[in-house]
Amino acid sequence: MKRFILGIAALLVAGCATVPPPPAPAPAITQVELRETMAMLSSDAFEGRMAGTAGETKTIAYLAERMRAAGLSSGARGPTPYLDPFAIVARPARVVAPTGKSAQDVFTAHIEQLGNLTSHNVVGVVRGRHPDGRAVLMMAHWDHLGICAPAVVDKICNGAIDNASGDAALIAVAERVAHMGLDRDVWFVLTGAEEWGLLGAKAFADNPPLPLASIVAGFNLDTIAIAPAGARVAMIAAPDSPLEPLVIEAARAMGRQWDGDHEADNFLRRQDGWALAERGVPMVMAGGSFSDLALLNAFLKSDYHQPSDELRPSTDLGGATDDANLHVELVRHAASRHFKIRPPRVERVGD
Ligand SMILES: [Zn+2]
């Protein structure tokens, strides 16, 4: 019975934790604007956005300019605004080189040829109006596999869905949040070298520009142009995530159904959010792409990490647009002083 009462108390805390701030009007994010940003990032001019290459230089300059134009402050520590450098240590080449000729093999061989280098996370901040020492984080990786198939006609892995889709959504959310007058600081971090093993996210977690303990909620966006408009909202997070009530409430506010079966949880360690989640930061990947595993698997078995991950007129951005707007709602709640995450579960059986 006591357990039951504790459970109710936890629910009540979670309930009042999500009182929204006064509504600030934010024009809805549209498919047109996401398509425009994705078209730019996934164009051949960006050379597949591989960390440590000319593709990186072009990509991070473009993203930094988008953050500046959106009105974000730089959150970076390097000499160039918005560009937060981190070191990548050269990998010893494997004794046995990869024998396959898949894009992933070409990418891996390319990594092994590179020496020590510097890559960058692109970091911007919207300062809160009523700061209380807490912050909200949004992440998406900008990098992809680069020139991944030198021998064939289409040699560039453009990474339209992985992850120009997440980048476009993050920029669009930042453009709204910059004008919403939210209480808390909101950090926007576009990470590098995710495809190398979450290196940018790990560098951010190792040497964070804000205390990790101050982050009340973090949202990672990766590969979000999978589902059509109106898809149910699922989430990927560490077990018993304190953010689940927030995601459920935001889904409801957006008129979307909740999919709580957690069937995509085995992707938990395969995304940037893990680099922070393993250090105790409440991180979640929320959206439609993880509610229909058949659709997600169809992508993973076809265009994923191939030169064919390109933006086409037929690419459906309905779900990505829904998810971008969902994240405006998520950030709006989490950046309110009224939002407190559920305290750790109390297990005191028998007292
Ligand atoms: Zn990838």
Q: How many domains does the chain have?
A: 1
162 token code pair = 């992985």
In a domain, 99, yes or no: yes
In a domain, 15, yes or no: no
In a domain, 203, yes or no: yes
The alpha carbon of 216 and the centre of ligand 1 are apart by a number of angstroms equal to: 27
Q: Is 33 helix (H, G, I), strand (E, B) or coil?
A: helix
CATH of the domain at 135: 3.40.630.10
In a domain, 4, yes or no: no
pLDDT tier for residue 133 given thresholds of 50, 70 and 90:
very high
Residue 85 has a CB neighbour count (10 Å cut-off) of: 15
Q: How far is CA 46 from the centre of its chain?
A: 20
pLDDT tier for residue 151 given thresholds of 50, 70 and 90:
confident
The alpha carbon of 23 and the centre of ligand 1 are apart by a number of angstroms equal to: 36
The alpha carbon of 213 and the centre of ligand 1 are apart by a number of angstroms equal to: 28
pLDDT digits (tens, 9 = 90+) for 184-212: 999 999 999 999 999 999 999 999 999 99
Contacts of 9-15 spanning 24+ positions with Cβ under 8 A = 10/342, 10/343, 10/345, 10/346, 13/340, 13/342, 13/343, 14/242, 14/245, 14/342, 15/245
Q: For the chain, what is the mean pLDDT?
A: 90
The alpha carbon of 304 and the centre of ligand 1 are apart by a number of angstroms equal to: 7
pLDDT digits (tens, 9 = 90+) for 91-121: 877 666 666 678 988 898 888 888 899 999 9
In a domain, 330, yes or no: yes
| pTM recorded for the entire structure | 0.90
The residues that bridge with 236 in the sheet, in sequence order, are: 285
In a domain, 328, yes or no: yes
The alpha carbon of 195 and the centre of ligand 1 are apart by a number of angstroms equal to: 5
In a domain, 17, yes or no: no
pLDDT digits (tens, 9 = 90+) for 219-266: 999 999 999 999 999 999 998 899 999 999 999 999 999 999 888 988
**Considering the chain, what percentage of its residues have pLDDT values greater than 90?**
77
The alpha carbon of 127 and the centre of ligand 1 are apart by a number of angstroms equal to: 31
Domain with 264, as residue range(s), is 27-334
How large is the greatest C-alpha to C-alpha distance in the chain, in angstroms?
Answer: 70
